[in-house]
Amino acid sequence: MKKIILTLMVLLIATSVYAGDASRKGTTGADYLLIPVSARGIATGGAFVANLTGLESIYYNPAGLDMSTGTEFMFSYMDYLADIKISYLGASTNLGDFGSLGFTLKSLAFGDIDITTADFPDGTGSTYSPSYLTLGLSYSKVVTDRISVGTNIKILSESIQDVSASGWAIDFGVQYRFTPELMIGAAVMNIGPNMQYNGPQLASFTQIPGSNPGSPGGQYEIITEEFQIPSYFLMSLAYNIDINDQNNVLLGSTFTANNSLEDNLNFGLEYGFLNNFFVRGGYSFLLENSEQNVFGLTFGAGIDYSIGGDVGFAFDYAFRDVKDFPTANHVFTIKLSFQ
């Protein structure tokens, strides 16, 4: 078992070199993979990679999925940038000694966009709406009383009118608990092949250069450039402080080595009262060119309450400050759990 864990850790560190290649900054596509989900994770600045459990852990570190017992359902909604709406659905179940399985669906709604052409720059009267979907299947296993591992396989789909691109990516992570208070976590996210757009709308009919007048035209197809997906590596530390039976404080910090942005450092804090009421805050900043950071302070609150002992209900809200845009991000998450 120790050899397995050591191999996983070496694999995570080795893959982090791929995830943090500075020469690839600004060269990736599918950046919607970088948009976080769940109000609790966003309110704490994405810093709780070492200690998030259950469905909320899948986006940040799938190793935490099996730390939750029973069955969970989650719905999260975010008002993002430029009137973009993000919906996230998830379901998971604990299968005992086998581990836990999870299913997630993330979609972006752009609304209706006017179609414009060279002849009709103000619009043709028709509209279109891009479709961006991410479908995930996760597996997690508590290996020992201290170690849990997990992986998440994602199917990616992008379409704009009759042009589309598809691909896949895989995440994998580890959580280790030195004590009930001190935890570390590591994860590599979005490792997968390049994607490329294709479709009938990239083809056009035109006169063949140099042909005689009246000759039949020819069809030309635009060959799009392949693009990489935004992989990154996470290393996280969390510490739990039990003040007394009623009050608890959870601290977390995460370093991100990112291949499409500057590396960044996240800090998060959560105060809990009676394990039912929570207040949260966080901050993320770039380690270089910090003035270019679009997102600033985050904060939020939530409730987590058991109904009849076997059914749990949680509602969380998060606010994320946004620079250079007129509105901030507002995130709402509802979660049901059944033991």
Percent of the chain with pLDDT over 90: 59
154 closest CA partner among 121, 197, 119, 105: 105
Q: How many domains are there within the chain?
A: 1
Place of tokens 């017992």: 69
Q: 79 or 123: which carries more pLDDT confidence? A: 79
Q: How confident is the model at residue 6 (pLDDT cuts 50, 70, 90)?
A: low
Q: 24 or 165: which carries more pLDDT confidence? A: 165
DSSP 8-state assignment for residue 118: S
The pLDDT value recorded for residue 44 is 95
In-domain check, residue 310: yes
Alpha carbons 280 and 301: distance in angstroms, whole number: 6
Q: How confident is the model at residue 161 (pLDDT cuts 50, 70, 90)?
A: confident
Q: Encode pLDDT of 129-147 as tens digits.
A: 899 999 999 999 999 888 9
The pLDDT value recorded for residue 14 is 53
The pLDDT value recorded for residue 116 is 87
Q: How confident is the model at residue 73 (pLDDT cuts 50, 70, 90)?
A: very high
What is the average per-residue pLDDT within 41-50? 94
What does pLDDT average to over the chain? 87
Instruction: Return the structure tokens found at 207.
Output: 């006169």
In-domain check, residue 81: yes
The pLDDT value recorded for residue 159 is 92
In-domain check, residue 216: no
Domain around 321: 2-193+228-338
- 111 pLDDT above the threshold of 70: yes
In-domain check, residue 329: yes
Q: How confident is the model at residue 309 (pLDDT cuts 50, 70, 90)?
A: confident
Helix (H, G, I), strand (E, B) or coil at 103: strand
Alpha carbons 35 and 58: distance in angstroms, whole number: 13
In 116-242, DSSP assigns E strands to 127-128, 131-142, 147-160, 163-177, 182-191, 203-206, 218-221, 232-242
Give the chain's end-to-end CA distance (angstroms, integer): 29
| Model confidence, pTM | 0.87
Q: Encode pLDDT of 207-260 as tens digits.
A: 777 777 767 777 777 888 888 899 888 999 999 999 998 999 999 999 998 877
Q: How confident is the model at residue 3 (pLDDT cuts 50, 70, 90)?
A: low
The pLDDT value recorded for residue 201 is 82
Question: What are the φ and ψ backbone dihedral angles of 94, each rounded to 5 degrees?
Answer: -90, 125
In-domain check, residue 199: no
Nearby residues of 4 by Cβ (< 8 Å), 6 or more positions away: 143
The pLDDT value recorded for residue 8 is 53
The CATH number that applies at residue 63 is 2.40.160.60
In-domain check, residue 54: yes
In-domain check, residue 215: no
Q: How confident is the model at residue 10 (pLDDT cuts 50, 70, 90)?
A: low
The pLDDT value recorded for residue 317 is 97
The pLDDT value recorded for residue 296 is 83
Q: 245 or 87: which carries more pLDDT confidence? A: 87
The pLDDT value recorded for residue 166 is 94
Strand-pairing partners, residue 331, are: 78, 318
- 48 pLDDT above the threshold of 90: yes
In-domain check, residue 220: no
Q: How confident is the model at residue 122 (pLDDT cuts 50, 70, 90)?
A: confident
Dihedral over Cα of 70, 275, 63, 105: its sign: positive
The pLDDT value recorded for residue 126 is 87
